[in-house]
A and B are shown apart, each in its own frame.
Chain A
């Protein structure tokens, strides 16, 4: 009796969603994939630091003060990248330092993206005074050069991990908020949104269930690009002495520590800097690949 209602026996071809197409495009891009693998390795390094680090990053041994890297005269293979002015193993400190950079990079971008997305959605969809208020705040925050804003905030709040995250989030949310607002302004005129409105869907449903999933990919792409920027900012703050405080190993403060010894121990500040460069470069390459894969109109 129900046979008439059964699905027709035509094989329905599986249609790939655009997201899957983008992921496939990204995976096919060898250069970006390599960079993404490097980023993953850095994350693993941060997570597994206690097991990977050959030595205690905080244990100083004054007999090994400024010991050169393994391949130089006076170097030892067990202290591969040499030691700093307190005789601490540089490689172990770099491995532990990745925790600071990655924690702050991820935390800042994550919080900023959530906050920025919500505010951008509200501004773009509700318009009116909500939009005016949010846009004004954005304009004012854009009036500050980023590093100067962060430096002033750190001077006010004092150093420390949570404070760096806060200081950077205070300005960082502006970036996703502007992207989201722009996307929402375009999306709210589209048919699917109009259709949702026509059937009487509540405002929050339209904002978060209809529009948000459709504008998510540019937001994700922008967030990954911003991660590189945030990591450099954190390193700069730590370099200036306004970031994570000693003895915690952070790449920026390691470079700062090494500055006094550039005459006879170049390795102290060189290697942490290479770690920053490598991580930031990989994030930049990977996020560029992500952007090209998700939004092919950009690739030229």
Chain B
């Protein structure tokens, strides 16, 4: 790709990122409940002390100035103190982030592992039983309320069959020295197959819950893309040359039919971020999503603010990469 176009594209991100931070700032500024009062609740303080604290926190300055400070701090990773933990917000988020990343990656892998073979098979067997089943399956996938499906999985696999744990990320008996802080990878790196199995048993249900709606969308995209490719001249030509059906399908057709799927997968990864909040709450997964939900209820607003901004910025960049990916994989599209 033309480096100049890339620079232009990155420049286009700036107003969006600025707008996103304005919205996050305004949301939290308008949220009822003075942060100072929340922090001091239950303590004996004089009005002067409250005033002094408001001044220290910069809450008595004009909104525009407060936004500039907020933005400047945000750029340097300073989001203030978490009221609840009495520690910098950034540290608390960083602590919870690996769990969310692990869950998201696992869900992404599951969604891709289901949707690509299924989408290809549905396209090849168009309008036959398998295709119909895949269509019904993806309709269910997009219609399932994640929070409910997660609970049903818990009832089935943890309560009735008792083959999988109800919640959490790892058994306390398993102590693996942290390296990547992704439990599965760390267990593997430290040569602890028992812990790996334990981590996977905790991971499978939440990841599956998170993955299903995405798998449903991706299956449809993959099927449609495959159908289009299979109609194209070069496939007909490859078949006419006598190349085996399997080879035509997996080597010639799939390569091009993957372009839309990869793009949509990148975009949908962003939507997994929202799903995380619900799924992490259901499965007691110690990630960022659950932390945000908990923080709302204890009115720990600096944390909510930082997390929402973090999610939004991640989302903007994911969409940006999806765009880039699409352009790179598909030379017909030019920036």
Contacts and interface: CB of A to CB of B under 8 A. Distances in A.
Interface of A: 136-137, 139-140, 142-149, 151-153, 155-156, 158, 228, 232, 235-236, 239-242, 252, 255-256, 258-259, 262-263, 266, 269-270, 272-273, 276-277, 280-281, 284-285, 288, 300
Interface stretch (B20-28, B86-94, B197-205, B322-330): B20-28
B278 A240 contact: yes
B148 A148 contact: no
Given A143-B19, A145-B312, A151-B277, A156 B292 contact: no
A242 B282 CA distance: 15
B146 interface: yes
B277 A148 contact: yes
A84 to B, nearest CB: 14
Nearest to A158: B32
A204 to B, nearest CB: 29
A27 to B, nearest CB: 20
Given A270-B155, A277-B148, A300-B227, A155 B296 contact: yes
A284 B139 contact: yes
A194 B308 CA distance: 46
A148 B311 contact: yes
Contacts of A156: 27-28, 30-32
B145 interface: yes
A283 to B, nearest CB: 8
Contacts of B146: 236
B275 interface: yes
B144 interface: yes
Contacts of B319: 142-143
Nearest to A139: B16
Interface string B289-330: 000110011000100100010011001100100000000000
B16 to A, nearest CB: 5
A139 B19 contact: yes
A143 B20 contact: yes
A281 B24 CA distance: 34
B278 A281 contact: no
Contacts of A140: 15-16, 19-20, 23
Contacts of A153: 27
A136 B19 contact: yes
Given A139-B19, A152-B308, A300-B224, A262 B31 contact: no
A143 B277 contact: no
24 contacts: A139-B15, A139-B16, A139-B19, A140-B20, A143-B16, A144-B311, A145-B311, A146-B274, A147-B278, A148-B292, A148-B308, A151-B293, A153-B27, A158-B32, A228-B142, A232-B145, A240-B277, A262-B154, A262-B155, A266-B155, A269-B151, A273-B145, A273-B151, A277-B144
A140 to B, nearest CB: 3
Contacts of A273: 145, 148-149, 151-152
Given A255-B151, A259-B151, A277 B277 contact: no
**Chief secondary structure at chain A's binding surface:** helix
B122 to A, nearest CB: 11
A49 B84 CA distance: 43
Interface in B7-45: 15-17, 19-20, 23-24, 27-28, 30-32
A281 B19 contact: no
Contacts of B151: 255, 258-259, 262, 269, 273
Nearest to B289: A148
A64 to B, nearest CB: 22
Interface string B136-163: 0001101111111101101100010000
A262 to B, nearest CB: 5
A131 to B, nearest CB: 15
B147 A239 contact: yes
B148 to A, nearest CB: 3
A289 to B, nearest CB: 11
A48 B53 CA distance: 55
A295 to B, nearest CB: 14
Given A143-B316, A144-B315, A262-B159, 7 more contacts: A140-B15, A145-B274, A151-B292, A240-B293, A258-B151, A277-B143, A284-B142
A234 to B, nearest CB: 10
Nearest to B313: A143
A175 B27 CA distance: 22
Contact of A236 (B16, B147, B159): B147
A146 B304 contact: no
A136 B16 CA distance: 7
A276 B145 contact: yes
A142 B267 CA distance: 11
B139 A255 contact: no
B227 A236 contact: no
Nearest to A141: B23
Contacts of B24: 152
A243 B287 CA distance: 22
A151 B277 CA distance: 9
B261 interface: no
A281 B148 contact: no
Which 6 pairs from chain A and chain B are nearest by CB?
A273-B148, A147-B274, A140-B19, A145-B274, A281-B143, A280-B143
Contacts of B273: 145, 148
B202 to A, nearest CB: 17
A300 B140 CA distance: 19
Nearest to A266: B155
Nearest to B149: A273
Nearest to A235: B145
B27 A281 contact: no
A270 B154 CA distance: 12
